[in-house]
Amino acid sequence: MERETAKGQVAGVAGLADTRATEVGDLRLALARAVAGRKISDDAIAAVAKKLSAGKLRIRGIDNCVYGICIDYFFDTDEWTKALPELVRSKDSRVVGIEIFPWGIPVPDIYRVRVQQDFQEFGGQAVRQQV
């Protein structure tokens, strides 16, 4: 599956896993896709993308989840333990949950850390609507 980045380049995979850096434009596109079907303004998406790009850690995926937006970070060492305080200490959003999943058998060689966040800019609209 191909996708277009903010700079108009076509990448071979959907998601942010193939990006080298967490750029505002790429985050904005990923956020827009994650909240597609919701009534969220472009300005709100741009504001959240700007906040996310200010972080030191590289974002590898963005998705819609029960409490708002899920942001995936991948680590190939145990550095995720040192990154947790930064991920939890978010002044721009409310962290609702964190999931840590070790990939690899029998010894985990990649860790996925998924942070569930609720941003004020989304006003609770990023949450999946009940039908």
**Per-residue model confidence as pLDDT tens digits over 107-128:** 778 899 999 888 877 765 545 4
Q: Considering Cα of 38, then 123, then 71, then 28, what sign does the dihedral take?
A: positive
Under the banding of pLDDT at 50, 70 and 90, the label for residue 9 is very low
Q: How far does the chain reach from its first CA to its final CA, in angstroms? A: 30
Determine the Cα–Cα distance for residues 60 and 37; give it in Å rounded to an integer: 22
Cross-strand pairs, 40: none
- pLDDT at residue 27 greater than cutoff 90: no
pLDDT of residue 22: 67
Other residues' Cβ atoms within 10 Å of the Cβ of residue 86: 11
Helices and strands, number each (H, E), in the chain? 3, 6
The tokens describing 25, both together, are 């434009």
Q: Taking the model in full, what pTM does it have?
A: 0.69
